Chain A
Amino acid sequence: KQEVTQIPAALSVPEGENLVLNCSFTDSAIYNLQWFRQDPGKGLTSLLLIQSSQREQTSGRLNASLDKSSGRSTLYIAASQPGDSATYLCAVSGRAGNMLTFGGGTRLMVKP
């Protein structure tokens, strides 16, 4: 059974810092990995999708890496801003079209 863990559970940083959020999964036989952002009381916004054959994906100030063999992914946020404050969720799928298994999330606060 796939289990996804995100560390840390919460993180508070001053504006401008570069930061890394971690995601680990127990079963390396994944099809893809998706990073989401959730603002309070809102739905999930997809940030990046990494297919299992890829090593990383970039979108603006965000860079996500994937090391499937070690069961790890990181989300790197450059030059953090107060608007980045949200909960970040990592989710993996075991095969095409399969359900996503979610981690518990990292609650990020960027202070001005």
Chain B
Amino acid sequence: EAGVTQFPSHSVIEKGQTVTLRCDPISGHDNLYWYRRVMGKEIKFLLHFVKESKQDESGMPNNRFLAERTGGTYSTLKVQPAELEDSGVYFCASSQDLVGEQYFGPGTRLTVT
């Protein structure tokens, strides 16, 4: 069974540009989470999908971030326009139900210059 996959693994963009990160959860997992770690800080929650619906987006930093999960399968996280402070590692996780383990992907390292 394939794990959580994320694309790209690395992205380097200039301030003001747009970047879209993709996450493919484990097949059959209705719950999908986005987290990020910025330099020197703990991993922080961004948002949670249940199927295609946003269950909790309390961690989204501002309206430059847009997450979607069309059809309840893969998810995208778009940053537009990117700022320097958006640099960090963005992790995606999925779980089969609300009480089980969250399984994490390898992350996307985003560098904004």
Contact = CB atoms under 8 A, between A and B. Distances in A.
Interface of A: 4, 31-32, 34, 36, 42-46, 49, 51, 89, 91, 96-105
Contacts of B56: 98-99
B91 A103 contact: no
Contact of A97 (B42, B50, B106): B50
Contacts of B35: 100, 102
The 3 closest A-B CB pairs, nearest first, are A97-B98, A99-B45, A43-B106
| Interface residues of A, dominant DSSP | strand
Contact of B104 (A31, A46, A98): A46
Contacts of A44: 91, 93, 104
Interface string B88-103: 0001010100111111
Of A98, A103, A105, most B-chain CB atoms within 10 Å: A98
Contact of A49 (B43, B93, B101): B101
A99 B33 contact: yes
Residue picked from B31, B91, B98, most chain A C-beta under 10 Å? B98
A105 B33 CA distance: 20
Contacts of A45: 104
Nearest to B5: A43
Given A43-B91, A97-B31, A97-B50, A102 B43 contact: yes
Given A99-B56, A99-B59, A43 B31 contact: no
Given A99-B33, A100-B45, A43 B101 contact: no
A53 B50 CA distance: 25
Interface centre among B42, B48, B59, B91 (most CB of A within 10 A): B42
26 contacts: A31-B99, A36-B104, A42-B106, A43-B104, A43-B106, A45-B104, A46-B104, A49-B100, A49-B101, A51-B99, A89-B43, A96-B98, A97-B48, A97-B95, A97-B99, A98-B48, A99-B48, A99-B58, A99-B59, A100-B43, A100-B45, A101-B45, A102-B43, A102-B44, A103-B42, A104-B42
A102 B37 CA distance: 10
